[in-house]
A and B are shown apart, each in its own frame.
Chain A
Amino acid sequence: MSGKYKQVAYYPGCALEGTGHAYNRSTRELGKALGLDIVELKNWNCCGAMEVKNVDPKLQTYLSARNLSIAEGMGFDTVMAPCNGCYHNLKKAEYDLANDPASREVTDRLSRKAGHATYEAGKVETIHALDWVKEAIGEKGLKARVRNSLKGLKVANYYGCMYTRPRHIFPEKDKGPGSESTLKPHFMDDLLAAAGAENVEYPLKTACCGGAHTLSDSDTSTKLVLNLLTTAEACGAEVIATECPTCHTGLEMHQVRAEKVFGRKTTVKILYFTQLLGMALGLSARKLGVHENLSDSSDLLRARGLG
């Protein structure tokens, strides 16, 4: 254990208080089991998500900057965001504030008006939950803590689109051995392999799921998700591991919808990587919120002696 990221500020974001509640719960439980402290940001706000970004990108930058400012004010130099959307937006704000004077000007003006300190780029590092476990514990440390190996459970790791795109807002990635890859991300693969899972070669790990159009054009989203699910099954996966509440919910919802609308049934289960790691550490499925998932994986987990 490197000691790095042993205590970080935690930004759950809106989704983790709603549809992604199981991700919130399992992230907190995983942290506890690993001896890592997370301290939730006080009075955090929406990161600007997709909607604000589209209407007014500078306002989105301010919203994310305010969260970074709170982290700094609480004495943290690192904030961990498990949601890909939040992670992406905090990273984007960091990039904008470092490179776009107009964004700096708007953030400064709105911060003064709101009565809090203006966040300046470079003060707080944003990391994903994957970075957190990978850096703070690592594969070796994780392996040493495994009490209930995932026993060769065949897993397709789905990273979604926002974890690696656009490349320029993730300057720490693509730095060679040990760093994350934007072309072929592997941090989730590495951690789950350390916990005993057998990762399948999944060619669509960063492919679009049509998530943003799940309401405006449900059929397009369902077809894209159905292809993600059938491809995972063709790869031999029993489980798709996720690391984003939007991806997770999208896969679950459209799995159901694909059967209802297109008569295409798929059986691959969908679980957060934090739930899988938690079970490998000996935590119960209930404690990790597996029962809150739409995708019912109880039979599979029982058969494997997990959870």
Chain B
Amino acid sequence: MANIHGTSLDDIAARLDGMVIAPDAALTAAALDLADELLALGETILEVWLAARGETPTKRIVEGFRLLALHRQGARGEPSFNACRETCRELVYHHNLVRLDPAHVDVARRLRLGVMVARHLQLFIGGKLEIAGLGEFCCSSRPLRQHETRAQATEAV
């Protein structure tokens, strides 16, 4: 599975793994660029999901970020997608944290945590592409879609 530019989730996973093991000095020296790249990787992950569903990823922004607009688009008609809502927001937070103070003594660690958040998003979406129900059974209740469930046991009671 890949987005329209041919980037796959495996490509993204490899890039994230590389960022996690990069030395502190390398992360610190390129903090601003890496923060932006992290956000872009998050967007690409959601583009892969949307592309797999035959949708054109939006260019819109929500609360200042395209990543959040993409999440909103992905969640339309797919309540289980909300299971990665906070993960997307955390990714935005870590991006902002690094950009706010790229010379902070803790910037390498902040970047690494951002990478781990992005990795979770990649794993979750990758999991959903394999099993569409990931996130569906646990936190995604469907009270407003009950009419979609046919041949219900309760009808026979």
**Distance of A183 Cα from B88 Cα, bound (Å):** 11
* CB-CB under 8 A for A162 and B149, given A220-B123, A230-B116: no
A-B contact pairs, 6 of them (CB 8 A): A54-B136, A56-B152, A57-B142, A207-B124, A224-B120, A246-B138
Quick one: CB contact mask for A193-219 with B, threshold 8 Å, 1 for yes?
Answer: 000000000011111101111001100
Is A217 a contact of B138 with CB atoms below 8 Å?
Answer: no
Is B93 a contact of A203 with CB atoms below 8 Å?
Answer: yes
Task: Determine if A99 is an interface residue (Cβ-Cβ < 8 Å).
Answer: yes
Is A213 a contact of B134 with CB atoms below 8 Å?
Answer: yes
Q: Which of A213-240 contact B (CB under 8 A)?
A: 213, 216-217, 220, 223-224, 227-228, 230-231, 234-235
Is A217 a contact of B116 with CB atoms below 8 Å?
Answer: no
Task: Determine if A66 is an interface residue (Cβ-Cβ < 8 Å).
Answer: no
Nearest-neighbour CB distance to chain B for A59, whole angstroms, equals 5
Interface residue stretch chosen among A36-44, A103-111, A124-132, A277-285: A103-111
- Given A56, A210, A228, which contacts B134 in the complex, CB threshold below 8 Å? A210
Task: Determine if B11 is an interface residue (Cβ-Cβ < 8 Å).
Answer: no
Is B127 a contact of A213 with CB atoms below 8 Å?
Answer: yes
- Given B79, B84, B153, which contacts A208 in the complex, CB threshold below 8 Å? B84
Among residues of A, the one whose C-beta sits closest to the C-beta of B145 is A57
Q: Chain A interface (Cβ within 8 Å of chain B)?
A: 50-51, 53-59, 61-62, 85, 88, 92, 95-96, 99-100, 102-103, 106, 109-110, 113, 160-162, 164-166, 169, 183-184, 203-208, 210-213, 216-217, 220, 223-224, 227-228, 230-231, 234-235, 246
- Given B82, B87, B131, B144, which contacts A207 in the complex, CB threshold below 8 Å? B87
Is A165 a contact of B154 with CB atoms below 8 Å?
Answer: no
Residue among B84, B87, B119, B139 with the most chain A CB within 10 A?
A: B139
* B130 CB contacts on chain A under 8 angstroms: 217, 220
* CB-CB under 8 A for A224 and B127, given A59-B153, A103-B143, A203-B117: yes
* CB-CB under 8 A for A59 and B152, given A203-B116, A224-B123: yes
* A183 CB contacts on chain B under 8 angstroms: 86, 89
Task: Determine if B135 is an interface residue (Cβ-Cβ < 8 Å).
Answer: yes
**Distance of A105 Cα from B82 Cα, bound (Å):** 29
**Distance of A95 Cα from B79 Cα, bound (Å):** 16
Q: At the interface, is chain B mostly helix, strand, loop or mixed?
A: helix
**Distance of A231 Cα from B118 Cα, bound (Å):** 11
* B131 CB contacts on chain A under 8 angstroms: 213, 216-217, 220
Task: Determine if B66 is an interface residue (Cβ-Cβ < 8 Å).
Answer: no
- Given A85, A109, A213, A231, which contacts B113 in the complex, CB threshold below 8 Å? A231
Among residues of A, the one whose C-beta sits closest to the C-beta of B141 is A92
Task: Determine if B157 is an interface residue (Cβ-Cβ < 8 Å).
Answer: yes
* B119 CB contacts on chain A under 8 angstroms: 227
Q: Which of B74-123 contact A (CB under 8 A)?
A: 79, 82-84, 86-87, 89-90, 93-94, 109, 112-113, 116-117, 119-120, 123
* A59 CB contacts on chain B under 8 angstroms: 152-154
* B87 CB contacts on chain A under 8 angstroms: 204, 207-208
* CB-CB under 8 A for A220 and B143, given A62-B154, A234-B109, A234-B116: no
Among residues of B, the one whose C-beta sits closest to the C-beta of A50 is B137
- Given B82, B120, B143, which contacts A92 in the complex, CB threshold below 8 Å? B143
* A227 CB contacts on chain B under 8 angstroms: 116, 119-120, 123
Task: Determine if B18 is an interface residue (Cβ-Cβ < 8 Å).
Answer: no
Instruction: Report, nearest first, the 9 A-B pairs whose CB atoms are least far apart.
Output: A161-B139, A212-B137, A165-B139, A220-B127, A50-B137, A231-B116, A203-B90, A208-B83, A56-B152
Is B113 a contact of A56 with CB atoms below 8 Å?
Answer: no
Is A206 a contact of B157 with CB atoms below 8 Å?
Answer: no
Is B149 a contact of A165 with CB atoms below 8 Å?
Answer: no
Is B136 a contact of A212 with CB atoms below 8 Å?
Answer: yes
Is B127 a contact of A165 with CB atoms below 8 Å?
Answer: no
Is B139 a contact of A166 with CB atoms below 8 Å?
Answer: yes
Nearest-neighbour CB distance to chain A for B1, whole angstroms, equals 14
Is A57 a contact of B143 with CB atoms below 8 Å?
Answer: yes
- Given B82, B127, B157, which contacts A109 in the complex, CB threshold below 8 Å? B157
* A56 CB contacts on chain B under 8 angstroms: 149, 152-154
* CB-CB under 8 A for A204 and B141, given A56-B149, A106-B154: no
